[in-house]
Amino acid sequence: MNDAATLAAPVEVIRQHLIDPEVCIRCNTCEEACPVDAITHDARNYVVDPDICKACMACVPPCPTGAIDNWRLMLRSQAYPLAEQFEWDELPAQIDLPEGAAALAQGPATAAAEAAAVVAAAAAAEPASDVAGFATAVTATSFGATLAPWSAAHAYTNLYNHKQPTTATVVGNYRVTDAGVESETHHIVLDFGRMPFPVLEGQSIGILPPGVDARGKPHVARQYSIASPRNGERPGYNNLSLTVKRVTVDHDGNPVRGVCSNYLCELKKGDTVRVIGPFGTSFLMPNHPRSNIVMICTGTGSAPMRAMTEYRRRLRGKFEGGRLMLFFGARTQKELPYFGPLMNLPRDFIDVNLAFSRTPGAPRRYVQDLMRERAADLLALMKDDDTSIYVCGLKSMEEGVLAAMRDVATMGGVQWEELAGRLKREGRLHLETY
User: Least Å distance between CB 251 and another protein?
Assistant: 7
Cβ-contact 289, 312 below 8 angstroms: no
Q: Which of 224, 263, 366, 390 is catalytic?
A: 224
CA atoms within 13 A on the CB side of 76: 13
Binding mask 236-265 for another protein (x = CB under 8 A): ---------------xx-------------
Q: Which of 114, 310, 335, 432 is catalytic?
A: 432
Contacts with another protein: how many residues (CB under 8 A)?
Answer: 36
In order of 211, 215, 244, 247, the CA distances from 255 in angstroms are: 21, 20, 18, 9
Tell me how far apart the alpha carbons of residues 66 and 89 are, in angstroms, rounded to a whole number: 17
| Residue 58 found at the interface with another protein (CB under 8 A) | yes
User: Least Å distance between CB 428 and another protein?
Assistant: 17
Query: How open is the CA angle 410-411-414, to the nearest 5 degrees?
Result: 45
| Residue 40 found at the interface with another protein (CB under 8 A) | no
Residue type, 22: E
List 59, 308, 371, 379, residue binding another protein (CB under 8 A): 59
Q: Is 225 a catalytic residue?
A: yes
CA atoms within 13 A on the CB side of 334: 10
Which residue lies nearer to another protein by CB, 69 or 130? Answer: 69
Q: Is 261 a catalytic residue?
A: no
SS3 324: strand
User: Least Å distance between CB 59 and another protein?
Assistant: 7
Q: Within 67-106, which residues bind another protein (CB under 8 A)? A: 69, 89
Q: Is 12 a catalytic residue?
A: no
Which residue lies nearer to another protein by CB, 128 or 267? Answer: 128
Residues 6+ apart with CB under 8 A from 237: 191
CA atoms within 13 A on the CB side of 301: 26
Q: Is 392 a catalytic residue?
A: yes
- State the burial class of residue 340 (Cβ atoms within 10 Å of its Cβ: 0-12, 13-18, 19+): exposed
Q: Which of 225, 228, 241, 282 is catalytic?
A: 225
Residues 6+ apart with CB under 8 A from 185: 121, 175, 176, 177, 243, 244, 245, 246, 299, 300, 335, 337
User: Least Å distance between CB 277 and another protein?
Assistant: 27
| Residue 22 found at the interface with another protein (CB under 8 A) | yes
List 13, 48, 53, 57, residue binding another protein (CB under 8 A): 57
DSSP-derived secondary structure letter, 216: S
Residue type, 67: A
**Region of residue 227 (left: phi > 0; alpha: psi -120 to 50; beta: else):** alpha
Within the chain, how many helices (H) and strands (E) appear?
12, 15
Q: Is 291 a catalytic residue?
A: no
Q: Within 397-426, which residues bind another protein (CB under 8 A)? A: 399-400, 403, 406-407, 410-411, 417, 420
List 85, 106, 129, 139, residue binding another protein (CB under 8 A): 139
| Residue 143 found at the interface with another protein (CB under 8 A) | yes
Please give the positions annotated as active site. 224-225, 392, 432, 434
Positions touching another protein (CB under 8 A) are 22-23, 25-29, 32-33, 43, 57-62, 64-66, 69, 89, 139, 142-143, 251-252, 395, 399-400, 403, 406-407, 410-411, 417, 420
